[in-house]
Structure 1
Amino acid sequence: MWLQTQLFKIPFMLEDIKKACQVLRDGGVILYPTDTVWGIGCDATNAEAVKRVYAIKQRTDSKALLVLVDSPVKVDFYVEDIPSVAWDLIELTEKPLTIIYDGARNLAPNLLADDGSVGIRVSGEKFSQQLCQRFRKAIVSTSANISGQPTPSNFSEISDEVKSLVDYIVEYRQDDMSHPKPSSIIKLGRGGEVKVIRE
């Protein structure tokens, strides 16, 4: 029965991904499930779209935004020089891990930190992974709340205000009532130094 339910959902998920990709290509902002909490997302290479995400969050752009990609190979396109330890961390992690890298490239300048670094997470969650794969670019992922307000752990906790400000709301997993936690965050220096920001 469970398998039948999952197979029944696949066409709807693919249609959702198709619609979300079109909105992203048009410079829009989406609300979507990730490997952690629900996220506000946009094309990570589009500075105007990134600007809108900051406006929705009511947050200054002095705080960087992280991005999702669908595979470790994609990280190389967005970071100039990846310390070798990064590959081990990505491969061995058992829970969502965001790695902050120095020397970001090929991304909207206004989503980077002041020092030019960027947080990238390789998603292992079905929907966000396929979304990144089909969109073929990194996608911004920031928690679906106004800055300073509690982070919603599932779709039902997202405020109507946030929902009203995005261009597309993904239907997939709206009924998921689990309470995932934010990812762990590690900062890597160019020499391979590891600093744990959030466990």
Structure 2
Amino acid sequence: MTDVAHAGEVVREGGLVVYPTETVYGLGADALDAEAVERVFEAKGRARDKPVSLGVPDVETATEHVLATERETAFMYEFLPGPVTVLCQRREHVPDILTAGRELVGVRVPAHQTALALYRTAGTPVTATSANLSGRPSVTDPADLDEELLEQVDHVVDSGPTDGTESTVVDVEAGEIHRRGSLADRIEDWLDEG
């Protein structure tokens, strides 16, 4: 069994995995399983009022879990896969704990083959939050993972160092960038042109 196949199995069974993206290492669990998402918050020591994004292998899969407007869909096809988190209206089956009770959920389709393979193998949206303890720097190299976090993780997919630039978080409908990261200037131009 490959590393990614095993990681997908861990996610399906409610476990936690650390996996690479094109930005930083992520902490993954089944994003539709409230108990698994709770484990993510516990492992990170993350406040429950801070939502967590979900990762999917492509835009088509994203639309199964969010009610994307025409503009949001056009944006996703323009920028995904890529280092961008798109805020969209969640569908009813997306658990409250993931979104901290909010109606919007962040969607990630990383431009990283290992992350996409994990999402496909897991067969479910996977949490897309950085693999670090809250308040500590994001991890770009698995060698730097915090021991305290590792104690709660069931599997680490190591594919060497990542880029390190955080994804840009954007609310397309509101025309707002919530966090500037990769591609922020291009995204701003797109929003202004629309």
- Taking the TM superposition and a 5 Å limit, the aligned residue runs for 1:16-95 are 16-79=3-66, 81-93=67-79, 95=82
Q: Which amino acid aligns with 2:178?
A: I
- The code of the aligned residue for 1:27 comes to G
State the 1:178 CA deviation: 4.3
Does the alignment pair 1:97 with 2:81?
Answer: no
CA contact (8 A) 1:153 1:181 kept: no
Match of 1:181 among 144, 155, 165: 165
Report what 1:116 is aligned to.
Answer: 103
**Amino acid across the alignment from 2:40:** V
Residues 1:45 and 1:27: Cα distance change in structure 2 (over 3 Å): same
Kept in 2: contact 1:32–1:41 (CA 8 A) = yes
The code of the aligned residue for 1:183 comes to: S
Partner amino acid for 2:166?
A: P
Read off the aligned partner of 2:165 and give its amino acid letter: K
Structure 1 stretches lacking a partner, 5+ long: 1-13
Structure 2, unpaired ranges of 5+: 181-194
- Cα distance in 1 for partners of 2:79, 2:89 equals 20
Shift of 1:112: 1.1
How much does 1:44 deviate?
0.5
- Offset, 1:193: 2.9
**Distance between the aligned counterparts of 1:178 and 1:41, measured in 2?**
16
Once residues 139 and 197 of structure 1 are traced to their aligned partners in structure 2, the CA distance between those partners, rounded to angstroms, is 22
Alpha carbons of structure 1 residues 22 and 88: separation in structure 2 relative to 1, 3 Å: same
Per-residue Cα deviation, 1:57-87 (whole angstroms, up to 9, x for no partner): 11221110011100100111111x3111222
In the superposition, the TM-score normalised over structure 1's length comes to 0.83
Alpha carbons 1:41, 1:142 under 8 Å: kept: yes
Rg bigger for which structure?
1
Q: Distance in 2 between matches of 1:178 and 1:78?
A: 28
> How many residues matched?
179
The answer (yes or no) to whether the contact 1:31–1:39 under 8 Å persists in 2 is yes
Aligned-residue identity in percent: 27
d(CA) in 1 for partners of 2:14 and 2:90?
A: 25
Instruction: State the distance in 2 between where 1:21 and 1:177 align.
Output: 21
Matching of residues 160-171 of structure 1 within 5 Å: 160-171=147-158
Q: Which residue of 2 aligns with 1:130?
A: 117
Asked whether the equivalents of residues 72 and 88 of structure 2 are also in contact (C-alpha less than 8 Å), the reply is no
Report the Cα distance in structure 2 between the residues aligned to 1:36 and 1:86, rounded to whole angstroms: 22
- Supply the RMSD in Å over aligned alpha carbons: 1.7
Distance in 2 (alpha carbons) for counterparts of 1:33 and 1:137: 17
* Residue identity opposite 1:56 in structure 2: A
